[in-house]
Structure formats: structure tokens, C-alpha cells
Amino acid sequence: MDDTAYLINDPDTVFPCCGVIEEWQAYVKHTGTIKFDIWRSTDGINFKLVGSNEYTSVAMKNPMKAKPLN
């Protein structure tokens, strides 16, 4: 699957303030590049990119765990 994006826009996944992402977890079906982005709403309609991490993933049955490189 190429160029597929998933947006989770749910109040339960909102980071209200400052913080650090210590680990990403994802179930990966296909080997390739995966990119994790954090977007912050600027006005309820538009979003600003505030952080991004990119990894090479390998297809696996268990969740991939990746530490941010920043």
C-alpha cells in the first residue's frame, strides 16, 4: 500500500500541551517506510505540523515499537 494516510482526530488522542513522545507503536502489514506526524489544530479546521518521525518498517504480526530520534 503506497501513499496511505490515517488521521485520528479524536478528543481522546489530543495532547493539550507540551510533552515528549517516548515511543510509537503500530501494526505493520507491509515492509516499507512509515511516517508518524503530530498535527495541532490551529482553528478547528486547519492544522499545523509540529513533529514528525520516519522509520523503515518490516511486516510483522506483533506491533512495531519505535523510539523517536529527536
Q: What is the pTM of this model?
A: 0.67
The whole-number pLDDT of residue 63 equals 63
* Amino acid (one-letter) located at 9: N
Render pLDDT for 52-64 as a digit per residue (tens, 0 to 9): 888 888 777 666 6
pLDDT in the model for residue 57: 80
Residue 66, pLDDT score: 67
- In this prediction, residue 1 has a pLDDT band, given cuts at 50, 70 and 90, of low
**Burial of residue 39, with CB atoms counted within 10 A of its CB: 0-12 exposed, 13-18 middle, 19 or more buried:** middle
Quote the Cα angle for 5-62-32, to 5°. 40
The predicted model gives 26-51 an average pLDDT of 85
Buried b (16+ CB within 10 A) or exposed e, 3-19: eeeeeeeeeeeeeeeee
Q: End-to-end CA distance of the chain, in Å?
A: 27
When pLDDT is averaged across residues 13-22 and rounded to a whole number, the result is 77
